[in-house]
Structure 1
Amino acid sequence: MERRDVLKRIGALSATGAVAGCLGVQEQGEGDGTDSSSDDASGDGTADDGSSGDTSTGTESGPAGSATVWYSLPDTETQAREQAIESFNSNSRHTIDGGDISDLRKKTTSAIPAGQGPASFDWAHDWVGDYAQRGFLVDQSDQLSVGMDQFTEAAAGAVQFEDQVLGLPYAAETVALVYNEEYVDEPPSSVSEMVSVMDEHHDPSNGTYGLSYPFDPYFTSAWVQSQGGYIFDPEQDPMLGLTNDATVQGLQFALDNFKPYMPNDPQYEAQAAAFADGNAAFAINGPWYLATLNEKGVDFGTAKLPSVDGGEPNPYTGIQMWYFSTGMEDDATAAAARSFIEWHVTNEDLVLQAAEEQGAIPVLSELAGSDELPSNVKAFSEAVQQGVPMPTHPKMNAVWEPYTSALIKAFNGDTDAAGAMEEAASTIRSNWE
């Protein structure tokens, strides 16, 4: 499953609000200050695969522990995750057992309340509010040896809910502009420039298009929220902003400027294939798409989303994080899970490797937007700065499906932008009741 399909099917997204504050690095970690170099089994702190094997983030003592962690990754990322766990286990007194789970939401919602869940699991930040309110997560703010100020403000805020730290972030995701270098010499700075280029290359009768662009809530959020409107915001009154005039205007902007240059099928697979097969001038997609383009041999470049007259693109962003599950309630298990997670999210070698091989966008403050990043990933990092983290409020669960249906109807011409938004809003309010 493509990562963007994972993001689309999320359910409990929530507005993150302000960061609850920064946690200082604990001087004594989890114990009495024993030198953590004893965790390095090899003695030199270097893993066999070339990534740093130093698994310490502070000093700790106490019994060695073992912990199970779950994740659900594309095939292109699975091997790197397995290697990271192997590297940790080889250089730490703790042991981590990883499991790749095909339906992570179904498995976590059944296993965690039954006391059979993992100590931690890896997913985008959208489940934080829902899982916190259902009692699936535990606050680890007073146990961490990592300061939240090591991460970008958006990433730090995304892993917190009601003043609790419920996980640690390791990467960001959003959509950006991708351009085919056979058609486009340099990326457009504005949507109007982009339209001119799309118009030049759009020729459906010969199988070429101006734009490859899945038309769903996550992908279209940049433009729907570009005119000052919003989809959902618990800090606003009303929380649901679909029928706001500025939101409707944003949807109409997307329909006017992008739909005429896209394949007729708005679904992800059909849209993504057009650019990946070399048949479109532009694509709007996420960093997970880069591996596909590299495999296909497409000559491409990336850039942040172009500017909008009278507004600015404001896409949803996702924060990939390790959740602190109730499976961490045992002290030794919790120590093992924290040690692995803190190492995984702060190890700069791993972060840069993920950026190079998987297009992952760093959320470590030292690396976000850094010149050390591959140029295509740096462009996505800049695009993250344009956006806003997806809402994590539990009420967002009821928004995605009706809103998705509304966008498809508007795209297909079954209703206009205002009618689509009103229909979705009515269904969502009914579901809330």
Structure 2
Amino acid sequence: MYITTNFKDEGSFIVVKIRKIRKMVAGLSAMTMVFALTACGGGSGSSSASSSSPQPTATPAAVSATPGPVTDELKPEAGASLVIWESKEARPYLEEIMKEFTAKYDVKVKIEELGAGDQIGKLTTDGPAGVAADVVMLPHDQLGKAVSAGLVLPNDVYGEVTTKENSEVAVKAASFGGKLYGYPKSVETYALIYNKDLVKTPPKTFDEVTAFAKTYNDPKNNKYAFMWEAGNFYFNYLFLATTGGYVFGNNGTDKNDIGLNNDGAVKGAQFYGSLAKDLLPMKSGDATYDIKKGLFTAGTLAMDINGPWTIGDYKKSGVNFGVAPIPSIDGKPSVSFSGVKAWYVNAFSKYPNAARLFARFASTKEAQMQDFKLTGALPSNKEAAQDPIIKNDELVTGFLQQFEHSYPMPAIPEMGSVWEPMAAAMSDIWNNGKDAKAALDNAVQQIKDATAKK
């Protein structure tokens, strides 16, 4: 589900940085958005191989010297079969793609369900051991970690057509060190999903949300006005960034410039803490994806902060819902994390040609359109994003509007050291009333200590 627990490229939300962000986002929002981290959300894990890493029992597949155009000569290896890692939510789309791929190339494909946010950690150990999937699905924030550890192959055969067909932002997100590695599939961010039968007009500000909560909340009857994964920094980032916080400076590339405890971040964390009393009376760890989903589909949760990955299930439930931008904070548009999901070929795959073919096959315009229809994933392909089915979709429009105020998760390996300390700090503020400044200072020091070792 997560786009890792936290999808990630971050910069400073001071006026100067905002200009940079808007310039970057404009290119993607104009043709796509497409914005599923996620993951939704994300995880952490070692960012590179070390001397303590398991000794490889598999040999990295050969890599072409330079990316080139698509050719008709690439054929799957004799007797090839593939294992694909993907999340449970993506199974409907992937099963269709697998059938078509097998019919065309006579290569059997097996799915192993694994959330996008959990794949990098497993790939780090299972890749060199020769037991990982041949093709994996990673949020772009984990690419730096994968490349640094030598875990994925460059997109060296289909690089030219991939670059031509997909949004510039998506291509950049699937690249690292100036080299394209991924086969972009979707872009995503989270937005406000609201029950139209309970909320006629989506609120524009958090003040409106809290006012509604005073008249609607009834925990004994599982009635809540507004929920998000309050213990997940992927979603909590919006509170810090909207008021001026950021993860890493220089557009998310400077590990030595951490803005998670600056004045803006502290102000946002204080506001976040106040919501434990004024808006959502439950422990942060209890506001999980599954709990929210159950309440929303049952018709007792009025508003949910979530991503396009949940649209398929919400449609099936029969709830009458819409999508709108996240309410503003202190007069400023809420800034969400955004991310790009792409397929990557395991560098230790026994069948690198078949894996390349599948990554390409599962990321074409046709595949992305199918993904959108079956799961709600928003395409990175430029032509797909302009398809009337997508352009005229009211739900997509809501995500696109929020995407204009999103910021890509940082992709440097050090991002892996951010999630756990920040989740702990925000939970401490929410559950224990800890001073926001003290909690954030402690988290930033942990991040600095961890990144100094890399």
- Displacement after TM superposition at 1:321 (Å): 1.0
Alignment-derived partner of residue 251 in structure 1: 269
Q: How does 1:37-56 map to 2 (within 5 A)?
A: none
After TM superposition, list the pairs within 5 Å mapping 1:391-430 onto structure 2.
Answer: 391-430=410-449
Matches within 5 A, 1:165-244: 165-204=180-219, 206-215=221-230, 216-233=232-249, 234-236=252-254, 238-244=256-262
Letter in 2 for 1:360: A
What amino acid does structure 2 have at the position aligned with 1:99? Answer: I
Q: Deviation digits for residues 88-135 of structure 1, max 9, x if unmatched?
A: 22124x625233144644542223223444442122223211111111
The answer (yes or no) to whether the contact 1:13–1:396 under 8 Å persists in 2 is no
2:59 is matched with which residue? Answer: none
Match of 1:280 in 2: 301
Answering whether residue 111 of structure 2 is matched by residue 99 of structure 1, we say yes
- Please provide the CA RMSD for this pair: 3.0
AA of the residue aligned to 2:377: A
Q: Relative contact order: is structure 1 or structure 2 higher (C-alpha 8 Å, sep ≥ 6)? A: 2
- 1:324 equivalent in structure 2: 345
Which residue of 344, 354, 372 maps to 1:355? Answer: 372
Greater gyration radius: 1
Mapped to 1, the partners of 2:318 and 2:3 lie a distance apart of 20
Give the Cα separation in 2 of the matches to 1:107 and 1:316: 24
1:89 aligns with 2:102: yes
Q: Would the aligned equivalents of 2:261 and 2:437 in 1 still touch at CA under 8 Å?
A: yes
Per the normalisation by structure 2, the TM-score is 0.76
Deviates more, 1:109-118 or 1:3-12: 3-12
**How far 1:12 moved relative to its partner?**
6.1
In structure 2, the residue matched to 1:54 is none
1:121 to 129, 136, 143: 136
Flag structure 1 segments of 5+ consecutive residues without an equivalent.
15-24, 31-59
Aligned-residue offset at 1:3? 6.4
Count of aligned pairs between the two proteins: 388
Paired with 1:417 and 1:120, the residues of 2 have a C-alpha distance of: 41
Residue ranges of structure 2 left out of the alignment (5+ in a row)? 6-38, 48-66
Cα distance in 1 between the residues matched to 2:218 and 2:76: 63
Matched position secondary structure for 1:306: coil
Q: CA deviation at 1:407?
A: 0.7
SS at match of 1:367: helix
Letter in 1 for 2:341: Q
Q: What are the within-5 Å matches in structure 2 for residues 298-377 of structure 1? A: 298-327=319-348, 333-348=351-366, 350-368=367-385, 371-373=388-390, 374-377=393-396
Q: Which stretch shows the higher mean deviation, 368-377 or 319-328?
A: 368-377
Query: Could you report, residue by residue, the CA deviation over 1:26-78 in whole angstroms, capped at 9, with x for unpaired residues?
Result: 66x23xxxxxxxxxxxxxxxxxxxxxxxxxxxxx125543352421321x432
Q: Flag the structure with higher helix content.
A: 2
Choose from 87, 91, 108 the match for 1:73.
87
Q: Is the 1:159–1:169 Cα contact (8 Å) retained in structure 2? A: yes
Deviation at 1:310, TM superposition (A): 4.3
Give SS of 1:327's match.
coil
Which residue is 1:154 aligned to?
169
Q: Is the 8 A contact 1:275 1:283 kept in 2?
A: yes
Q: Given the superposition, is the C-alpha separation of residues 324 and 192 from structure 1 closer, same or farther in structure 2, using an over 3 Å criterion?
A: same
Matched-pair contact (CA < 8 Å) for 2:189–2:307: yes
- Mapped to 2, the partners of 1:397 and 1:64 lie a distance apart of 34
The alpha-carbon distance between structure 1 residues 89 and 207, as it changes in their structure 2 partners (threshold 3 A), is closer
1:129 and 1:369, CA in 2 relative to 1: closer, same or farther beyond 3 A?
same
Identity %: 26
Q: Which whole-Å CA distance do the structure 2 matches of 1:306 and 1:316 have between them?
A: 15
- Give the deviation of 1:324 after TM superposition: 2.7
Please say if residues 68 and 156 of structure 2, whose CA atoms lie closer than 8 Å, have aligned partners that are also in contact: no
